Amino acid sequence: MKRALPVLVLSVAGLIPLWRYEPSTDTTSTTQTAPPAASPSASSSPGSSARVVAGSTVKTEKGPVQVEVTFEGDKISAVRMLRQPNHPQTTAAVPKLVAETLQAQSADIDTVSGATVTSDGYKESLQAALDAKGA
């Protein structure tokens, strides 16, 4: 009988996070779904070699992930999320993923702790964009 009360209390305490769990909803930052093929950007200077390439849309359990990469010559100059899950971990992870991409200049980047699913989707979409740029 001495153990029944602590076991009951700990069981209820363990179930509270399950009751409060709220799955993320899909949001997109743009209504257009860009194809995973390369498309030249509209650059402001005629001699600019800027090129924008959209990665493929990767479906994850948190929601779809899609990136758009801007290249200046062969260098990655910017990465933008076209689609991402509406989830706090994703919101916190995206700036870290973009910064690592710009530093590494490849899809060989670390996964952000707490946002593994989004990180994996990001890297897959990024690699698709890099492959499309090379084609």
Task: Give tens-digit pLDDT for 24-80.
Answer: 555 544 433 444 444 434 344 445 678 899 999 999 988 899 999 999 988 999 999
Average pLDDT, the chain: 79
pLDDT at 2: 77
Range name among 5-14, 40-49, 87-96 with the lowest pLDDT average: 40-49
pLDDT at 22: 64
The C-alpha atoms of residue 30 and residue 47 are separated, in whole angstroms, by 28
The C-alpha atoms of residue 135 and residue 121 are separated, in whole angstroms, by 21
Length of the chain: 135
Q: How far is CA 17 from CA 6, 12, 91, 96, in A?
A: 18, 10, 21, 27
